[in-house]
């Protein structure tokens, strides 16, 4: 076979490959377009209603992972929660919002993002606390118009925490030595490869104290308490719903149906209010991209170690 024929057959092979790829991709693209057109936009409902937004699990910045194999309900992603609150604000049928909280708290930044959206709401917001609404879970609840807690809800835990791993002794046992080149003495502050110095601990304590003052102010403003009153009970402990009511951290003892009825009243709805819940629209291509992400165990371990070595400020209740 001469060179000309070889080139011709190569071109034909490329064209056939392209045709086959187009044949596969076109239906997928068409299906994606159809699903995009059919995807659930913020749920519409006729007549006045109360929007129910669920904040469950650890509070994390950003959006849920784009993969069908992970349950995003195991964590409360600030981007998703904020979007739901905005949908409720923009929906004319929604007259009030119930935020159902079952969370130990989490990221300071993520908690603040959700808190700010609640403050910005023009519609009444009622909080219903489940098993746990502690630390960041309480932080986001503080500006609500009315807070309901079950008598045995654990709430409060007003405080800030940052944790650091020190693996130096473990690494030394295995003869592992880490060498760090840095531009300043604090550049590797919190490194897992060595103990923290007293100077580093003092610097981090200043950061923690600053975030704590912000938490105290949020509670004082939201609950109409003085700074001194909040600080008297803000030692990091959790309180039962009964105790929290006595301390004026919550308004009423009750469960989700009670909060929904109260929200209906605040929204001017007569009788039992209709309930609307939002779901993130299905997006085929986001799901496909999520499935293409590395998911082997080694990658997950490295990612976990990377997160462990990067401490963040947290409004987080750590159960004993």
3 state SS of 74: helix
Query: Cα–Cα distances in Å, from 218 out to 2, 98, 136, 225?
Result: 80, 20, 11, 10
| Catalytic position from the list 128, 135, 157, 191 | 135
Q: Which residues contact 21 (CB under 8 A, 6 or more apart)?
A: none
3 state SS of 299: helix
307 membership: H or E segment, kind and range: helix 297-308
Active site residue 217: no
Burial of 59 (0-12, 13-18, 19+ CB in 10 A): buried
Q: Which residues contact 268 (CB under 8 A, 6 or more apart)?
A: 48, 95
| Catalytic position from the list 187, 197, 201, 295 | 187
Neighbours of 77 (CB within 10 A): 23
Pairing of the two strands 49-56 and 94-103: parallel
Separation of alpha carbons 107 and 57, rounded Å: 12
Active site residue 123: no
Contact 149, 253 (CB under 8 A): yes
316 membership: H or E segment, kind and range: strand 314-316
Contact 192, 164 (CB under 8 A): yes
User: Among all residues, which ones are annotated catalytic?
Assistant: 135, 187
């Amino acid at each position: 076979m001469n060179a000309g024929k070889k080139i011709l057959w190569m071109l034909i092979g490329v064209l056939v490959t392209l045709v086959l790829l187009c044949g596969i991709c076109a239906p997928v693209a068409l299906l994606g377009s159809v699903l995009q057109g059919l995807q659930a936009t913020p749920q519409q409902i006729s007549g006045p209603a109360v929007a129910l937004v669920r904040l469950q699990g650890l509070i994390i910045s950003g959006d849920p992972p784009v993969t069908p194999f992970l349950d995003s309900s195991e964590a409360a992603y600030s981007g998703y929660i904020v979007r739901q609150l905005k949908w409720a604000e923009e929906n004319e049928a929604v007259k009030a919002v119930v935020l159902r909280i079952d969370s130990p708290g989490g990221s300071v930044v993520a908690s603040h993002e959700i808190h700010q959206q609640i403050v910005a709401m023009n519609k009444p917001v009622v909080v219903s606390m489940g098993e746990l609404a502690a630390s960041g879970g309480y932080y986001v609840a503080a500006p609500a118009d009315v807070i309901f807690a079950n008598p045995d809800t654990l709430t409060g835990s007003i405080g800030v925490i940052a944790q650091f791993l020190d693996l130096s002794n473990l690494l030394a046992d295995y003869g592992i030595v880490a060498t760090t080149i840095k531009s300043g003495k604090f550049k590797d502050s919190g490194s897992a490869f060595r103990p923290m110095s007293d100077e580093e601990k003092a610097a981090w304590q200043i950061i923690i104290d600053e975030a704590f003052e912000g938490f105290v102010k949020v509670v004082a403003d939201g609950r109409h308490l003085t700074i001194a009153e909040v600080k008297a009970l803000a030692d990091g402990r959790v309180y039962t719903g009964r105790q929290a009511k006595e301390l004026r951290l919550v308004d009423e003892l009750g469960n989700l149906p009670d909060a929904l009825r109260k929200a209906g009243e605040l929204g001017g709805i007569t009788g039992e209010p209709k309930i609307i819940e939002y779901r993130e629209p299905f997006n085929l291509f986001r799901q496909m991209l999520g499935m293409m992400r590395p998911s082997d165990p080694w990658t997950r371990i490295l990612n976990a170690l990377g997160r462990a070595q990067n401490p963040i400020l947290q409004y987080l209740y750590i159960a004993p």
